[in-house]
Amino acid sequence: MTEKHDNQRARVLSGMRPTGKLHLGNYVGALQNWVKLQNTHDCFFFVADWHALTTDYDDTARLASNTLEVVLDFLAAGLDPEKCTIFVQSQVLEHAELHILFSMITPLGWLERVPSFKEQQQNLPNKDLHMYGFLGYPLLQAADILLYRPKYVPVGEDQVAHVELTREVARRFNHFYKLEGKPVFPEPEALLTPTPKLLGTDKRKMSKSYGNTILLSDDAAAVEEKIKNSVTDRPKLSDKGSPDRCPVGNLHQIFSDKERLAHITDGCTNATITCVECKALAVESVNAHLEPIRQRRRDLTQNPERLQEIIRQGAAKASHAAEETMVEARSAVGLLQINAANDSNLDVEPTGTLRIPESARQAASDHERQRIITSEWAKRVNALLKPDRPGIFISRNGRGSKVGVYAAEENSGVWEFKLEDRPIQVLALLAVDASGRIHAYVLPPRFVRDIWKQFERHDSVVRVRLMTSPTGTLLALGDKHITIQEYEGAYLPLQ
């Protein structure tokens, strides 16, 4: 199996549990690094909402809202859905399916020896953790990772044991099951990146359980109040201190420029500045860094439809990648798989690839070829669509969205579709490549609304052009082109 994806970029996978709004410790320890990785790697970042149930199974009142808060913080901190895939774990059911397969082959001893298993029990003595979900959460974590077959998993040193368990699970699965003599899962590598320590306002590790955090979403006044009330390293003003041991000095080390850091370091170690002055400067530095983050968060909060669309699109992209893995995993295990080939003329390969029907190849006219391709593809999603008129379907999702389905065959890397100039909510473009494979791009309502009037028109016919590029499939809109690779096989708009 290949470890390269997205135009040969190595894939990265990581996630966070939704315990509420993220704080500076989350940002410095992981999120800031993720923002950098999205520019150099094929990144999948997710909110691990099922994992929140392992310890908080008895109180889920805020689970959904906490999940949204984390997605907001992801985006506010700089994660870009155009550069990476952001999704919610429970919206990609393949995570649970792969977890089941792994649970059949993983010895109990492997889970019991994970360091965090006993540590959590000791740290939460008043919580009943004698549950399979708690014992098995490292295995669900292994499924989270291996489902996307990443090259790297960015983690702190305390999580290396989980990555090593994941490697062992992959090795054991590959030992029992192979696909055409090849292993299904590559072994991911832990990506250890230097992360500066960040103390909480009370000098302990920053943690919500200690009540010593500064949130990414805190307004300027809240940040000032928390920093002004922080413990310092100098009980008396005449004492010489060390920024390394002081929460305020720690903030300067991360958020202040070199000149200001040198100033407070000299003043602290020689007792030539007061803690009040040092705190005031730290407030300036932290607020200057957080203001653009807060502004992005405010903008997204005021546009809930955009936030929902990002979550839906992320789930669709993640589901597409996850299903590619599960097709191979199911086949390797030997599970019975029934597909559309059993009740139609579709030629479905063992990997799930959909190809042009033989009846379409023999059709006398282009119009008939396109009609066959469209109708046969529709059979594959017949639980989601019902026919309305030629090329137009109605979704069965209760909203009755009109879905336009059109087919075109490749000509020198270009597909030209001819559409009716009538209102539709969802547009499915079936692009048949030179080898006969059908690529289905299902464009959601918001996207269709935004682009519909930008297509070229002639004699009441809407002309749509797709083309291949090194970065994926491009949709032509006048003089500009936009990538629509994320919509291939994304059937959520039909559901």
Structural domains in the chain, sorted by start: 4-195 (3.40.50.620), 218-294 (1.10.240.10), 355-494 (3.40.210)
Q: What percent of the chain has pLDDT over 70?
A: 93
In this prediction, residue 69 carries a pLDDT of 97
Q: Is the pLDDT of residue 130 over 90?
A: no
pLDDT tier for residue 353 given thresholds of 50, 70 and 90: low
In this prediction, residue 398 carries a pLDDT of 66
pLDDT tier for residue 489 given thresholds of 50, 70 and 90: confident
In this prediction, residue 338 carries a pLDDT of 60
Q: Is the pLDDT of residue 1 over 60?
A: no
pLDDT tier for residue 5 given thresholds of 50, 70 and 90: low
For the residues 168-196, what does the mean pLDDT come to?
92
In this prediction, residue 379 carries a pLDDT of 78
Choice among 19-33, 113-127, 347-361 with the minimum mean pLDDT: 347-361
Q: Closest Cα to residue 494, out of 354, 382, 397?
A: 397
For the residues 203-222, what does the mean pLDDT come to?
93
Each residue of 240-269: pLDDT tens digit?
999 999 999 999 999 999 999 999 999 999
Q: Is the pLDDT of residue 133 over 90?
A: no
In this prediction, residue 184 carries a pLDDT of 96
Q: Where is pLDDT greater, at 376 or 448?
A: 448
Q: Is the pLDDT of residue 148 over 90?
A: yes
Q: Where is pLDDT greater, at 483 or 27?
A: 27
Q: Are 451 and 277 a contacting pair, CB within 8 Å?
A: no
Q: Chain-wide mean pLDDT for the chain?
A: 88
In this prediction, residue 344 carries a pLDDT of 37
Q: Is the pLDDT of residue 194 over 80?
A: no
- Three-state SS string over the chain comes to CCCEECCCEEEEEEEECCCCCCEHHHHHHHHHHHHHHCCCCEEEEEECHHHHHHHHCCCCCCHHHHHHHHHHHHHHHCCCCCCCEEEEHHHCCHHHHHHHHHHCCCCHHHHHCCHHHHHHHHHCCCCCCCCHHHHHHHHHHHHHHHCCCCCEEECCHHHHHHHHHHHHHHHHHHHHCCECCECCCCCCEEECCCCCCCECCCCCECCHHHCCCCECCCCHHHHHHHHHCCCCCCCCCCCCCCHHHCHHHHHHHHHCCHHHHHHHHHHHHCCCCCHHHHHHHHHHHHHHHHHHHHHHHHHHHCCHHHHHHHHHHHHHHHHHHHHHHHHHHHHHHCCCCCCHHHCCCCEECCCCCEECCHHHHCCCCHHHHHHHHHHHHHHHCCCCEEEEECCEEEECCCCCCEEEEEEEECECCEEEEEEECCCCCEEEEEEECCCCEEEEEEECHHHHHHHHHHCEEECCEEEEEEEEECCEEEEEECCEEEECHHHECCCHHHC
Q: What percent of the chain has pLDDT over 90?
A: 59
Q: Is the pLDDT of residue 347 over 50?
A: no
In this prediction, residue 298 carries a pLDDT of 96
In this prediction, residue 381 carries a pLDDT of 80
CA atoms of 241 and 271, how far apart (whole Å): 7
For the residues 464-469, what does the mean pLDDT come to?
90
Each residue of 308-339: pLDDT tens digit?
889 988 998 899 899 999 999 999 999 987 64
Q: Is the pLDDT of residue 4 over 70?
A: no
pTM higher than the cut 0.85: no
In this prediction, residue 359 carries a pLDDT of 79
In this prediction, residue 228 carries a pLDDT of 96
Q: Where is pLDDT greater, at 125 or 70?
A: 70
In this prediction, residue 320 carries a pLDDT of 87
For the residues 179-192, what does the mean pLDDT come to?
93
